[in-house]
Structure 1
Amino acid sequence: MIPLLILGFVCSLDNFRLSIALGAFQFGWRRALRIAAVFGLWDGVSPLVGALLGRYLGQVIGPMADALGPIALAVYGLYLVVRSLKTQASEDLDDRWMLFGMPLSLSLDNMVAGTGLGLLGFPTVLSAAVFGTITALMSFVGLQLGRVAARFIPIRSDLLTGIGLLIVAVVLVLGY
Structure 2
Amino acid sequence: MSAILVLGLVLGLDNLQVGAALGMLEVSRRRRWAIALAFGACETVMPLLGMLLGRRLGEFLGPFTELFGSAVLALAGLLIIVMSWHERDTSQVAEGGFALLGLPVSLSIDNLLAGVGLGALGHPVLWSALAIGAMSTALCALGLFFGGWLRQRLPGRAELVGGMGLLVLSVLRLLGSDT
For the criterion TM > 0.5, the same-fold answer is yes
Provide TM-score, normalisation by structure 2. Answer: 0.91
> What is aligned with 1:114?
115
User: Does the residue aligned with 2:155 lie in a helix, a strand or coil?
Assistant: coil
- Per-residue displacement from partner, 1:73-92 (whole Å, max 9, x unpaired)? 10121122112222455443
CA gap 1:120/1:41 in 2 versus in 1, 3 angstroms:
same
Single out whichever of 15-24 and 157-166 deviates more from structure 2. 157-166
- Per-residue displacement from partner, 1:40-71 (whole Å, max 9, x unpaired)? 00000011111111100011123111111111
> What is aligned with 1:146?
147
Which 5+ residue runs of structure 1 have no aligned equivalent? none
Question: Which residue type is aligned with residue 17 of structure 1?
Answer: Q
Aligned residue pairs total 176
> What is aligned with 2:2?
2
Which 5+ residue runs of structure 2 have no aligned equivalent? none
8 Å Cα contact 2:27-2:91 kept in structure 1: no
Q: How far apart are 1:167 and its partner, in Å? A: 1.6
Provide TM-score, normalisation by structure 1. Answer: 0.92
> What is aligned with 2:162?
161
Q: How far apart are 1:34 and its partner, in Å? A: 1.4
CA gap 1:90/1:121 in 2 versus in 1, 3 angstroms:
closer
Q: Which runs of 4+ in 1 moved over 6 A?
A: none
> What is aligned with 1:32?
32
Question: Which residue type is aligned with residue 130 of structure 2?
Answer: A
RMSD: 1.7
Single out whichever of 160-169 and 131-140 deviates more from structure 2. 160-169
CA distance in 2, matches of 1:40, 1:55: 23
CA gap 1:92/1:156 in 2 versus in 1, 3 angstroms:
farther
CA distance in 1, matches of 2:109, 2:98: 16
CA distance in 1, matches of 2:167, 2:24: 14
CA distance in 2, matches of 1:48, 1:72: 23
CA gap 1:89/1:144 in 2 versus in 1, 3 angstroms:
closer
